[in-house]
Structure 1
Amino acid sequence: MGRMLGSVVGVLLLAACASEGQSEPGAPAEVVRLVSQTAGGGQGETTATRLATDAEVDRYLARFDASLAEKLRAAIEQERGAGGTLWAQVVAVGCDVPPGASVEATDDVVVRPDPVASRKPECLAPVTTVALAFVPANQ
């Protein structure tokens, strides 16, 4: 029993020493929410906008109608977190709402909507879809 315990302790110490000095890989940037509304205003964007301060949030939300701006503000407050920054981008304005999206965080933050499987032929009013993406501080 003593030898077995010594072996286990030795393996644990070896594992601890091997991982010392190595940093854990950072969490990737991710789309945390899509917010959509019919006739919400706004135009499609090619890059995301940083929402790190209340002033940045206010400036961004000014482009939307009051109802969509209110929905977005509530979502932004829920998704803001320590250790990173929230970004927003209009990813679609039209008849269809994308089922999801992915984010690339390099020099710019860019959100790309997933393709819609079955496109609607027409709609009474366009639907605005805004993606909220969280980018960790290490990126």
Structure 2
Amino acid sequence: MRLCDNSRRAARRPFRVSAVAALAVVSLTAAGCGDSSTSGSTTPSSESTTSTSTEVKPTPVDDAQTVAILTGPNAGGRVSPVAVRLDDQTQIDRFATQFAHPSLGRRIARAVDSADLGSDRVLVGAVIAFGCGVPTDVRVSAGGGRVMLRAAPLESSPPECLLPMTTVALVSVPADLAPPPAE
């Protein structure tokens, strides 16, 4: 009596991807193009975190001036509301190292160089979005010695995209609100 040997039959069977596995791959790939203000972010927004008695609630900065909102396809970077000071080339270079493509860093450097700042103003920047939607405005607040930049809500966002967009905001703020220079 011969026992059934499925190993030979299995070896001849062509590899097939199940519909469920294919759908999972497509879903995970599309997830990179989610909500433009939070997709790819590992830092929770201040609205979603609980406040303790020692934290200072950020207040809007009315006299902030948007210098540039720059967007690059698939440039990477990390969405963070905490702005960094961009006074000199060293600080610009340090900020730009997070991007996969140097072209976004060069565009940031050109925008910083062309900014017309008074002596009482400082330029700060942050990655405000990563996803399919491209913000056209930025909300600026300050508190606890930090300046926060957040993308203004989008009117609408594309349902899908081939490449996620990285959006960087450069904003001029009063010098007394700016974070200290990085060391």
**TM-score between the two structures when normalised by the length of structure 1:** 0.74
Any idea what SS the aligned residue of 2:162 has? coil
* Contact 2:93–2:105 (8 Å) recurs in 1: no
User: How far, CA to CA, are the matches of 1:51 and 1:29 in structure 2?
Assistant: 15
Structure 1 residues 5-84: aligned runs within 5 Å: 28-64=63-99, 65-79=101-115, 81=117, 82-84=119-121
How far off its partner does 1:138 sit?
4.2
Any idea what SS the aligned residue of 1:68 has? helix
5+ unaligned residues in a row in structure 2: which ranges?
Answer: 1-61, 178-183
- Report the residue type matching 1:115 in the other structure: P
Counting matched residue pairs gives 113
Equivalent in the alignment of 1:115: 153
> Over alpha carbons, which structure has the higher Rg?
2
1:91-111 Cα offsets, whole Å, 9 max, x none, are 000001012112113321001
Tell which deviates more after alignment, 70-79 or 27-36: 27-36
How far off its partner does 1:46 sit?
2.4
The structure showing larger relative contact order (alpha-carbon pairs under 8 Å, at least 6 residues apart) is 1
How far off its partner does 1:80 sit?
5.4
**TM-score between the two structures when normalised by the length of structure 2:** 0.57
Equivalent in the alignment of 1:95: 132
Any idea what SS the aligned residue of 2:81 has? coil
5+ unaligned residues in a row in structure 1: which ranges?
Answer: 1-26
Q: Percent identity, please.
A: 35
For the pair 1:85 / 2:140, whether they are aligned, the reply is no
- Report the residue type matching 1:46 in the other structure: P
How far off its partner does 1:73 sit?
1.0
Higher helix share: 1
